Amino acid sequence: MNVKRTLVFVGSGAALIAWLAGAATSNREYAPPVLVSPPHVDVQGADLAKEIARLHERLRPESTPRQPGRNLFTFHAAIQHRPAIVESPTAAISEVPAPTAPPQPMLKLAGIAEDAGPNGPVRTAIISTDSQLFLVKEGEAVTARYRVAKIAPDVVELTDALDGTTRRLPLK
């Protein structure tokens, strides 16, 4: 009989637990809460209010200024008048300085083109400046100052019209 009694106690205990569990929980479904978000204008207003408060905090001085400080709106204390220094006249310079030659323009040999001709190859030099590009043959002018004297396979010789000097532009 002990087994029967144990089964009755276990069965009645399980029924009691099931009954208490059913009473503690309800099967009613609750509707989810409705969340109302504030309008976009109110969110911007709140952000603006926070920014204004932050800027007001920043404008408050953290330390008191020193009273005998300098005046930021004056550049010097007082104007001091100095007597004018009179220089003695020096002897006039009798020599006139020699005129300086104008600076040489920036010329660069960009390339050399070669065509077959009846008397041998005819070369064309491609010369660049800061703002122009010249395609010239022997005897033609490059700017108003230079004239092409000779075009070799890797060098162009220019003659200066001002002083007659020769300038060589190597192909790089």
141 within some domain: yes
Residues 161-165 have a mean pLDDT of 88
Q: Tell me the pLDDT tens digit for each residue of 88-144.
A: 666 556 676 667 767 778 899 999 999 988 988 899 999 998 889 999 999 999 988
Domain range enclosing 166? 108-170
155 within some domain: yes
Prediction pTM value: 0.42
39 within some domain: no
- Could you tell me the strand order of the sheet in which 141-142 lies? 141-142, 146-151, 155-160, 166-170
The two counts, helices (H) then strands (E), for the chain are: 2, 7
6 within some domain: no
User: Would you tell me how many other CB atoms lie within 10 Å of the CB of residue 171?
Assistant: 15
91 within some domain: no
Mean pLDDT of the chain: 83
103 within some domain: no
Residue ranges with strand state E in 83-131 = 108-117, 120-128
* Structural domains counted in the chain: 1
Q: Tell me the pLDDT tens digit for each residue of 48-69.
A: 999 999 888 888 767 666 666 6
CATH number for position 157: 2.30.30
What CA–CA distance (Å, rounded) separates 163 from 100? 12
93 or 23, higher pLDDT: 23
54 within some domain: no
121 within some domain: yes
